[in-house]
Amino acid sequence: MATNAGSTPADAPFVAVRRLDPGIDLPTRAHPGDAGVDLSSTIDVVLEPGHRALVPTGISIALPMGTVGLIHPRSGLAARAGLSIVNTPGTVDSGYRGEIKVCLINLDPHDAITIARGDRIAQLLVQKVELLHFVEVDELDETSRGAGGYGSSGGHAMLGASQPKGV
């Protein structure tokens, strides 16, 4: 079994990874202790400004029950090129066994972004989640925040302006 042992503690839990494309690297951490592992593209694609594409990564995984995979943009690509993820973070449920795909979007207003096969395009973070039961109630407990949301805590001059309808 191939692992990325050089950047992961030896006693860390494992995630079973199925390599669907033998030419693509397994998910790896760029640096020891990094929270996320990098995911790579299996295809060449050019994203014009404002366009998006569903990009395959060539892997499927078996996450343990009680965990979730969250797919985040790579910070350098977001800051330097405007490359992001449409549904950030993307969610990989523990029961999903299909290929992980990333819905990338080019947020740069002027320049196309070229992605080559093998480029690292996103990062996957695996986190524990609470699997809770949802119970219908007639009333919720009171809190100091109440129903305040969408700018209710201030912190920016424009948040003092009137709210758009529906917010």
Residue 121 lies in a domain: yes
Residue with tokens 């925040």: 145
Domain of 98, in residue numbers: 16-128
Whether 53 maps to a domain, the answer reads yes
Indicate whether 158 belongs to any domain: no
Q: What is the CATH number of the domain that holds 121?
A: 2.70.40.10
Report if residue 149 sits inside a domain: no
User: How big is the CA angle at 16 (ends 99 and 33), to the nearest 5 degrees?
Assistant: 100
Q: Which amino acid is at 60?
A: S
Residue 7 — φ and ψ, nearest 5°? -120, 10
Residue 97 lies in a domain: yes
Environment class of residue 57 by beta-carbon count within 10 Å: exposed (0-12), middle (13-18) or buried (19+)? Answer: buried
**Does pTM top 0.85 for this prediction?**
no
In tens, the pLDDT along 98-148 reads: 999 999 999 999 999 999 999 999 999 999 999 999 999 999 999 888 887
> pLDDT tens, 63-103?
999 999 999 999 889 889 899 999 999 999 999 999 999 99
Q: How many domains does the chain have?
A: 1
In a domain, 10, yes or no: no
Residue 43 maps to a domain = yes
Q: Tokens for 78?
A: 């977001």
Residue 162 within any structural domain of the chain: no
